[in-house]
């Protein structure tokens, strides 16, 4: 796999010149500590100088293999050529007018692209925002106005953001919710088909979890009170969990039968990440609304709610929006990112990354008992670490230690999961095949060193 679009000329090779962090990063970290809120934590204590393709270069000249894409954002790599060109051109024209004051074409073009790319051939409309959490909040607003109902159903292990409503929608307490309540009302959480941890086995997880979820909604909330069911078709922060087969179709059918707006939160899983434009396509789901962000704009802050025109049009004029939503530079970047995804066929590249990673990780799981599960699709892959394969007791200590060992060797991996025991890989889709393999070599060595 060659690197077709790497952005700035960052050599596509790992290079470790100093300890991680190096002296310049340490200096900057000292300055950070004195002026940046401690709650703004960092995965790695190295400061970036430039990035492109599959490499992040730090201020000490170390080059790290990027297996995290800045939290799943840089699907097209950092500073992809079409993104830089289009956003620079736009910045030279104007940076902002507020779409709700004097609109501009870029916003409309992004909404046209979203209508075209998202599943379903019904009439679709979009509204643009700045962050994923903002998109999810606005999906709830649209669903509530459209249905005249209030309740929102979400799932165990789900993650939807850190604003007040989205904290309520998010499952995990630490670090996302702890101490920040009270949370928004009318949010109900139901079971998820988490195959690896389903008591009667992964093959039963889909139908059994769907039956439990539907039963809980029916008994505890009442379907006619539910405005929206919101689910990530492939859960990210919860631990890269693919809901077991049958679960999503059952929930989507239940929503349709009961006049509930079915919302797919594709903020992490969308835009080629899983080898399809949207992860919900895997089981042929056509959501009523889709929320997107992250990969949509090549690193610029942009988010969207896209869906059935009648739902998106239900709110009164001025009811949705904000000062910066759909900023013209972010829209230009999105058009560049989408152009790159199509031209480079990044769906095929995501599948290629899966074809490299899954067999190698599976082989590691055969050798190292600490790996309880290997899962994910496309370039959204993870290993779940356990203390004991029989009990599946989570092993967050091993995840932290392995990630730290990888970081020291220059492979940027992320730890996630409800139990903090999942190492996830979200490489940019333009990364070179050899860098993916080298990252896996580093992980393998770190596992070996634990033996």
Check binding of 236 to ligand PLP (CB under 6 A).
yes
Shortest Cβ 159–ligand PLP spacing (Å)? 5
Check binding of 237 to ligand PLP (CB under 6 A).
yes
Mark residues 40-79: x for contact with ligand PLP by CB under 6 A, - for none.
-------------------------------x--------
Say how far apart CA 22 and CA 410 lie, in whole Å: 12
Shortest Cβ 423–ligand PLP spacing (Å)? 17
Q: Give 20 or 303: the residue with its C-beta nearer to ligand PLP.
A: 303
Instruction: Write out the binding residues for ligand PLP, residues 385-444 only, by CB under 6 A.
Output: none
**Contact window for ligand PLP (CB under 6 A) among 87-95, 131-139, 141-149, 375-383:** 131-139
Cβ pair 74, 296 in contact under 8 A: no
Q: Give 20 or 290: the residue with its C-beta nearer to ligand PLP.
A: 290
Mark residues 244-283: x for contact with ligand PLP by CB under 6 A, - for none.
---------------------x-xx---------------
Check binding of 232 to ligand PLP (CB under 6 A).
yes
Q: Give 237 or 438: the residue with its C-beta nearer to ligand PLP.
A: 237
- Which residue in the shown chain puts its C-beta closest to ligand PLP? 132
Say how far apart CA 316 and CA 319 lie, in whole Å: 5
Cβ pair 334, 110 in contact under 8 A: yes
Phi, psi for 300 (deg, rounded to 5): -90, 150
What b-and-e string marks burial along 335-352, b requiring 16 or more CB atoms within 10 Å of the CB? Answer: bbbbbbbeebebbebbbb
* Of 292, 221, 299, 315, nearest in space to 260 by CA: 221
- Measured CA to CA in angstroms, residue 422 lies from 91, 195, 236, 293 at distances of 40, 15, 10, 23
Return the residue matching tokens 């080898």.
275
Say how far apart CA 50 and CA 58 lie, in whole Å: 7
Q: Give 51 or 293: the residue with its C-beta nearer to ligand PLP.
A: 293
Shortest Cβ 132–ligand PLP spacing (Å)? 2
Q: Give 136 or 430: the residue with its C-beta nearer to ligand PLP.
A: 136
Cis status, amide bond into 21, omega within 30 of 0: yes
- CA angle 428/330/124 to nearest 5° reads 90
- CA angle 32/35/36 to nearest 5° reads 65
Cis status, amide bond into 175, omega within 30 of 0: yes
Shortest Cβ 305–ligand PLP spacing (Å)? 12
Check binding of 159 to ligand PLP (CB under 6 A).
yes
**Contact window for ligand PLP (CB under 6 A) among 115-123, 159-167, 332-340, 430-438:** 159-167
Shortest Cβ 239–ligand PLP spacing (Å)? 12
Residue count, binding to ligand PLP (CB under 6 A): 15
Shortest Cβ 243–ligand PLP spacing (Å)? 13
For the chain, the residue count is 451
Check binding of 293 to ligand PLP (CB under 6 A).
yes
Shortest Cβ 424–ligand PLP spacing (Å)? 11
* Binding test (CB under 6 A) with ligand PLP, winner from 132, 206, 325, 394: 132
Cis status, amide bond into 182, omega within 30 of 0: yes
Q: Give 147 or 268: the residue with its C-beta nearer to ligand PLP.
A: 268
Q: Classify residue 242 as exposed, middle or buried by CB count within 10 Å of its CB (0-12, 13-18, 19+).
A: buried
* Binding test (CB under 6 A) with ligand PLP, winner from 44, 59, 128, 136: 136
Q: Classify residue 258 as exposed, middle or buried by CB count within 10 Å of its CB (0-12, 13-18, 19+).
A: middle
Chain contacts with ligand PLP (rule: CB under 6 A): 71, 131-133, 136, 159-161, 232, 236-237, 265, 267-268, 293
């Amino acid at each position: 796999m060659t690197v077709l679009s790497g952005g700035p000329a960052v050599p596509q090779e790992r290079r470790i010149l100093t300890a991680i962090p190096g002296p310049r990063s340490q200096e900057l970290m000292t300055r950070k500590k004195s002026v940046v809120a401690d709650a703004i934590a960092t995965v790695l204590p190295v400061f970036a100088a430039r990035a492109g393709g599959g490499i992040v270069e730090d201020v000490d000249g170390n080059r790290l293999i990027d297996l995290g894409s800045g939290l799943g954002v840089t699907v097209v790599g950092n500073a992809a050529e079409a993104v830089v060109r289009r956003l620079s051109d736009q910045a030279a024209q104007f940076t902002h007018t507020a779409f709700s004051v004097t609109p501009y074409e870029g916003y409309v073009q992004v909404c046209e692209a979203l209508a075209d790319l998202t599943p379903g051939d019904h009439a679709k409309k979009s509204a643009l925002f700045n962050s994923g959490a903002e998109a999810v909040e606005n999906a709830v607003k649209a669903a509530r106005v459209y249905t005249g109902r209030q309740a929102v159903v979400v799932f165990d292990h789900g993650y939807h953001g850190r604003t007040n409503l989205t904290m309520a929608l998010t499952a995990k307490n630490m670090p996302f919710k702890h101490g920040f309540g009270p949370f928004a009302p009318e949010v109900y959480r139901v079971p998820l088909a988490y195959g690896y941890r389903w008591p009667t086995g992964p093959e039963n997880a889909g139908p059994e979890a769907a039956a439990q979820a539907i039963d809980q909604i029916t008994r505890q909330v009442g379907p006619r009170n539910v405005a929206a069911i919101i689910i990530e078709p492939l859960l990210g922060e919860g631990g890269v969990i693919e809901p077991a087969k049958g679960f999503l179709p059952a929930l989507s059918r239940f929503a349709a039968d009961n006049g509930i707006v079915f919302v797919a939160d594709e903020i992490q899983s969308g835009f080629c990440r899983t080898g399809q434009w949207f992860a919900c396509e895997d089981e042929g789901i056509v959501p009523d609304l889709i929320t997107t962000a992250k990969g949509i704009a090549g690193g610029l802050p942009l988010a969207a709610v896209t869906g059935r025109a009648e739902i998106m049009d239900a709110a009164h004029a001025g009811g949705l929006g904000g000062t910066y939503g759909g900023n013209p530079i972010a829209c230009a970047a999105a058009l560049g990112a989408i152009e790159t995804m199509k031209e480079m066929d990044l769906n095929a590249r995501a599948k290629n990354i899966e074809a490299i990673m899954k067999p190698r990780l599976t082989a590691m799981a055969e050798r190292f008992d600490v790996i309880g599960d290997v899962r994910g699709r496309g370039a959204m892959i993870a290993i779940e670490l356990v203390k004991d394969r029989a009990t599946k007791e989570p092993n967050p200590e091993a995840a932290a230690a392995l990630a730290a060992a990888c970081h020291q060797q220059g492979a940027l991996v992320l730890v996630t999961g409800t139990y903090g025991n999942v190492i996830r890989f979200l490489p940019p889709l333009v990364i070179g095949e050899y860098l993916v393999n080298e990252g896996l070599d580093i992980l393998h060595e770190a596992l070996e060193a634990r033996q």
